[in-house]
Amino acid sequence: MLDYERYRDDYEIDVELRYTLIHLQSFGDTTEYFKGSSETNSANIWARWRAPTGADFLQRPLRYVLESSFTTFFGPQRGALGFDNLASVGAGLELDSSA
């Protein structure tokens, strides 16, 4: 995983690039029907932008948050559920209740 973070008073940026490879294999004394193995791998990029709105709430700054993610699958997972990629985009407000 590669992670880039930049935190300033007026904004925060967080970007992560991740590659996942998982090997699954049955073990133990099981019947032939249940024996097997599989490999899953995917690549993902995720990003978040946070910045204050200028308003205070609960004695802390109210922040807006923008977030996005994109994942692509490889190997046996690719197309197994009817798609090869996943993407998401979101926006919201963040309250800090620590005060």
**Tens digits of per-residue pLDDT, 46-99?**
999 999 999 998 888 899 999 999 999 998 778 888 889 999 999 999 998 888
Two tokens, residue 40: 């899953």
Pairing of strands 37-57, 2-7: unpaired
Show me where the domains of the chain are located.
2-94
What is the reported pTM? 0.76
* E-only strand ranges, the chain: 2-7, 12-25, 37-57, 60-74, 85-94
